[in-house]
């Protein structure tokens, strides 16, 4: 039998193949462009302003975003906008994902003016309106000029929140401060008008800034000296509902804001006294506007169980209240009474604002056999007496049950315990930091290793040497000198994230402040 000659492409056919590869067709699904490595450049040429979502087919957060993303694409298309939305399956298009530093899903980037080099990370909300407003802010004027009543009316009608500056003369310092504020806020549309008919339609008699919203009191008028800072404070205090439900959609608004103190009501939405609890919560919220965000979390929802766990709560303990502050350190507070009345909530929040509350630190109960094994088991309740025992040198691993690096370390840590089990003055111990908190040590990544040398001065030394039996032994024998210097090992798992989660670019801001919520928000490669 004769074998067919292998296909030998002529130069002409090679050129043709290349040409085909370059102009690969761009298909659309529900107004969203489907991009691949072969048509990415082409898409940027054809659509200079393009928002690209890098997703994974299995990612729940991507699925939740899909209908809103498509809706945003449709809204822009219907308006005849030149802004397009696109998506890339990052599990298939690994080269593109790598090129743009995609580490989690969804990662959304905005390519402006056909520029491929430094796209801007999309960081606003996950509803169609949020997406459209953010894109318009990025491409158009910070505040739209409203010359007719109908323009002002539709700006208000089409948006959950809109801000209008009423200025007879748009060149005044006040008007300029208004534009500066408009430039600083991504996800709310701004309008500016000097039109008499617009003034009278909204019953405005002198220069003013008004925030219109589809909830609570419907409209807030700025009162005070017109400066960018004052306007931002005013908008921040009024742009969110008095009470917000924690959901995937509202999360970016909750974290992205400047209000870093949050009171959380964990309550089953289906319970018969839900409305009563909410009325009390809302009543208390009025006095803390702009100071504390009032958030409620449906304690029956599966996705929210990690959050309950983080606060040491069980489903059956709800309804319950907790307060958390996200300043430099995350600190939690628990009310003294479990009865949820407006009065109790106001008392609790007032004590917090006045700095009179003591942080609430979680602890498990002391296990009966905590000191049976060579590696001692510490919890919040026995930490102090063991770690700060002036006669002992105590070496402690702060771990998370789900953390991969901790699991790798476990057998070595056990060997270290065995090595020192008969020592008079060395104690090797471990503590589950997801269930126990202590004032003296704030854990930001797992595992964290700290040494508490003997003596009265309550010293704490970080261990950052090699995680080997030899490294640990050297460290202990040198009294915490060798291996106590930074070794640049920074790839540990951020505290309170799901197993082996790297931080997602999408929510880096959130992660920094609020790792526990964050873990519920981004599914990572």
Alpha helices in 165-250 (DSSP H): 173-184, 196-201, 228-238
Alpha helices in 453-507 (DSSP H): 469-477
In the block, tokens 């296909």 appear at 7
Tell me how far the alpha carbon of residue 99 is from its chain's centroid. 24
* DSSP letter (8 states) at residue 234: H
Cβ-in-10-Å burial (0-12, 13-18, 19+) of 52 comes to buried
* DSSP letter (8 states) at residue 304: G
**Residue 318 known to be catalytic:** no
Please state, in angstroms and rounded to a whole number, the distance separating the CA atoms of residues 91 and 414.
Answer: 39
In the set 18, 59, 318, 349, the catalytic residue is 59
Token representation of residue 298: 């449906």
Laid out side by side, the sheet with 426-432 consists of 375-378, 426-432, 393-399, 448-452, 461-462
CA distances from 86 to 23, 30, 92, 121, 510 (A): 17, 10, 15, 14, 25
Q: At what angle do helices 173-184 and 228-238 cross, to 10 degrees?
A: 50
**Residue 62 known to be catalytic:** yes
Laid out side by side, the sheet with 208-213 consists of 143-145, 190-193, 161-166, 208-213, 219-221
In the set 18, 318, 349, 406, the catalytic residue is 406
Report yes or no: 458 and 388 within 8 Å, Cβ to Cβ.
yes
CA distances from 354 to 224, 290, 350 (A): 25, 15, 6
Query: Residue 2, SS3?
Result: coil
Residue 180 phi/psi, 5-degree rounding, is: -60, -40
Please state, in angstroms and rounded to a whole number, the distance separating the CA atoms of residues 100 and 110.
Answer: 11
Report which of 402, 392, 514 is spatially closest to residue 447, judged by C-alpha positions: 402
Report, in angstroms and rounded to the nearest whole number, the Rg of the chain calculated over CA atoms. Answer: 28
Please state, in angstroms and rounded to a whole number, the distance separating the CA atoms of residues 517 and 307.
Answer: 7
In the set 18, 62, 318, 349, the catalytic residue is 62
- 252-282 in b/e form (b: 16+ CB < 10 A) is bbbbbeebbbbbbbbbbeeeeeeeebbebbb
Query: Residue 254, SS3?
Result: helix
Please state, in angstroms and rounded to a whole number, the distance separating the CA atoms of residues 16 and 267.
Answer: 64
Please state, in angstroms and rounded to a whole number, the distance separating the CA atoms of residues 262 and 291.
Answer: 9
Please state, in angstroms and rounded to a whole number, the distance separating the CA atoms of residues 454 and 388.
Answer: 8
Token representation of residue 415: 């060997």
- Where in the sequence numbering do the catalytic residues fall? 59, 62, 403, 406
């Amino acid at each position: 039998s004769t074998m067919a000659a292998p296909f030998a492409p002529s130069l002409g056919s090679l050129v043709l193949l290349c040409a085909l590869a370059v102009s690969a067709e761009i298909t659309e699904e529900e107004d969203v462009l489907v991009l691949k490595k072969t048509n990415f450049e082409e898409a940027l040429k054809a659509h200079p302003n393009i928002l690209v979502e890098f997703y994974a087919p299995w990612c729940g957060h991507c699925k939740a975003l899909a209908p809103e993303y498509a809706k945003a694409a449709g809204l822009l298309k219907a308006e005849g906008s030149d802004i397009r939305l696109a998506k890339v399956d990052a599990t298939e298009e690994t080269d593109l994902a790598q090129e743009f530093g995609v580490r989690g899903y969804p990662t959304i980037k905005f390519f402006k003016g056909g520029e491929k080099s430094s796209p801007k990370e999309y960081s606003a909300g996950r509803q169609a309106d949020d997406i459209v407003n953010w894109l318009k802010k990025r491409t158009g004027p910070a505040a739209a000029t409203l010359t007719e009543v109908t323009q002002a009316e539709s700006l208000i009608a089409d948006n959950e929140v809109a801000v209008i500056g009423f200025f007879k003369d748009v060149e005044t310092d006040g008007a300029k401060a208004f534009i500066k504020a408009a430039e600083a806020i991504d996800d709310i549309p701004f309008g500016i008008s000097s039109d008499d008919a617009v003034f009278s339609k909204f019953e405005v008699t002198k220069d003013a800034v008004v925030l219109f919203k589809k909830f609570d009191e419907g409209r807030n008028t700025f009162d005070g000296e017109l400066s960018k800072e004052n306007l931002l404070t005013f908008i921040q205090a009024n742009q969110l509902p008095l009470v917000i439900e924690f959901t995937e959609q509202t999360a970016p608004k909750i974290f992205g804001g400047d209000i870093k103190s949050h009171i959380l009501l964990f309550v089953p939405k289906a319970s018969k006294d839900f409305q009563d609890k909410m009325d009390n919560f809302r009543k208390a919220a009025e006095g803390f506007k702009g100071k504390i965000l009032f958030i409620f979390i449906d304690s029956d929802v599966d996705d929210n169980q990690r959050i309950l766990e983080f606060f040491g709560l069980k489903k059956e303990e709800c309804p319950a209240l907790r307060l958390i502050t996200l300043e430099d350190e995350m600190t939690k507070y628990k009310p003294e009474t479990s009865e949820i009345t407006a009065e109790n909530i106001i008392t609790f929040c007032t004590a917090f604002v006045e700095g009179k509350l003591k942080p609430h630190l979680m602890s498990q109960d002391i296990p009966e056999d905590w000191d049976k094994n060579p590696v001692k088991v510490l919890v919040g309740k026995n930490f102090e007496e063991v770690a700060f025992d002036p006669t002992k040198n105590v070496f402690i691993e702060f771990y998370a049950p789900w953390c991969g690096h901790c699991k790798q370390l476990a057998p070595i840590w056990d060997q270290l315990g065995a090595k020192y089990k008969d020592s008079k003055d060395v104690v090797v111990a471990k503590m589950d930091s997801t269930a126990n908190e202590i004032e003296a040590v704030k854990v930001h990544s797992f595992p964290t290793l700290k040494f508490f040398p003997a003596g009265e001065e309550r010293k704490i030394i970080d261990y950052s040497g090699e995680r080997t039996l030899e490294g640990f032994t050297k460290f202990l024998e040198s009294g915490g000198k060798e291996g106590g210097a930074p070794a640049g090992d920074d790839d540990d798992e951020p505290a309170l994230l799901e197993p082996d989660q790297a931080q997602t670019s999408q929510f880096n801001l959130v992660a920094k402040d609020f790792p526990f919520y964050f873990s519920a928000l981004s599914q990572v490669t």
